[in-house]
Structure 1
Amino acid sequence: MDEVLLIFGMFLVTFSVRYVLFAAAGKVHFPGWLNIGLGFVPPAVLTAIAVPAVLMPRGELWLQPDNPWLVAGLFAAIISVWRRDLLTTIVSGMAFFMLLRFGLGF
């Protein structure tokens, strides 16, 4: 019975927080400067996640050319600039990483 109450309590907390945000979504308008600033949030978050994973995959800085995460990341960056397509960048970067890691044994 305690588990059911716990799950129901988690449901209420999660639903109430999300409902309030969805209910206020159309009624709250931010100033233009804040909308511009919020446009930088997704790239900043992705950079904060990707850069440590690429430069420090084993917990310490690894900038040598035998780092498959770094090489595949540079390859994906080149594909991204060249093609300007997110899906192509992700698929080609992951395929190149898999080739380096499992095909060539980096």
Structure 2
Amino acid sequence: MSSSTAWLIILAIGIGTFALRLSFIQLLGRASPPAYLQRALRFVPAAVMAALVLPALVNVNGAIDLSLGNERLLAGALAAFVAWRTRQVLLTLAVGMAALWLLQAYG
């Protein structure tokens, strides 16, 4: 593939992404979405966060590891528990990172 073709593809993808996001901003700015859509959109941030975090917790060296020897999974489970009980982001991050460091140092 030539460099000009690659740049054209990158440009087209950028324009497409911008147009897609702009269309939602324009549509939601003119009319209020239905109640069922508003309820569904509340779960998007949590779903995106889970989709980003879960593979990092269970994928160890290219394989799924759900054992108690997986330090990342244990630290993530502890952080999820702290988040559920306290609903404090900084405390959740601190406990999760401290647990991961301790488990990696002594595990």
- Tell me if TM exceeds 0.5: yes
* Structure 1 stretches lacking a partner, 5+ long: 1-5
Query: Normalized against structure 1, the TM-score is what?
Result: 0.69
Alpha-carbon separation, structure 1, partners of 2:19 and 2:49: 28
1:78-89 superposed matches below 5 A:
78-89=81-92
TM-score (norm 2): 0.69
RMSD: 2.6
Partner of 2:58: 55
Structure 2 counterpart of 1:90, which letter? L
Taking the aligned partners of 1:78 and 1:68, their CA distance within structure 2 comes to 15
Matched pairs, number: 97
Distance 1:81 1:57, change over 3 A: same
Distance 1:47 1:17, change over 3 A: closer
Unaligned segments of structure 2, at least 5 residues: 1-7
Q: 1:30 to 1:58 in 2, by over 3 A?
A: same
Distance 1:17 1:56 in 2: 32
Which of 13, 32, 46 does residue 35 from structure 2 map onto? 32
Q: Give 1:32 deviation, angstroms.
A: 0.7
Q: Residue by residue, what CA displacement relative to the aligned partner does 1:20-51 show, whole Å, maximum 9, x if unpaired?
A: 66565532321111010111111111111222
